[in-house]
Amino acid sequence: MPDNTYHYAFDAEYGSVPNELKTEAMIFPSSSRDTRGIKTSILWDTGATHSCLSPKIVKDLGLKPIDTIIVHGVNSSKVADVVIASIGLANGLFLAGRRFSVSEIPGTDILIGMDIIMMGDFAISNGGGKTQFSFVIPSFENKISFTEIADGINKK
């Protein structure tokens, strides 16, 4: 039976192997794509359990805290505000009313954590000294297995 679900996907290609994965997105203060959205770079972080916004973006969008959360970093923990915002990813996917913690994020204003990454499939390939990063929501039924690919090549 065919899957009739629409999949929102994008690839980001880098001319080298970067230390971090960044793409662009639009962030909005409400559940609609209104004119107050801000285009900015986002950092994809598989080591972060939750997504977060910088205090600058929170101020620029006029967001107000709705809750607090304890954010655990590598060397410390702290209490952070939680705000609600919507994000438009590079693949045309609009995620309305998402919870974001508020925290300084070196080098960017938005960090995408596992709360969003786990909504879909996420792959990184580094062939030929270049990186390709691919993301899709929702996940595909068939999983990617690098073991199966390697085993197929190794048997030749």
Mind listing the pLDDT tens digit for each residue in 16-52? Answer: 999 999 999 999 997 777 667 999 999 999 999 999 9
- The predicted pLDDT at position 1 comes to 40
Contact 21, 43 (CB under 8 A): yes
Mean pLDDT of 53-68: 95
Kindly list the strands in the beta sheet with 121-125, ordered across the sheet, starting from the edge strand earlier in the chain.
8-14, 131-137, 121-125
Domain 8-154 has CATH 3.30.420.40: no
SS3 assignment, position 94: strand
Q: What pLDDT, in 10s, does the model give residues 79-114?
A: 999 999 999 998 888 999 999 999 999 999 999 999
pLDDT above 60 for 2:
no
Containing 153, the helix (H) or strand (E) segment is: helix 146-154
Asked if omega into 138 is within 30° of 0 (cis), the reply is yes
* Residue 28 contacts residue 88 (beta carbons within 8 Å): yes
**Domain assignments of the chain as residue spans, ordered by start:** 8-154
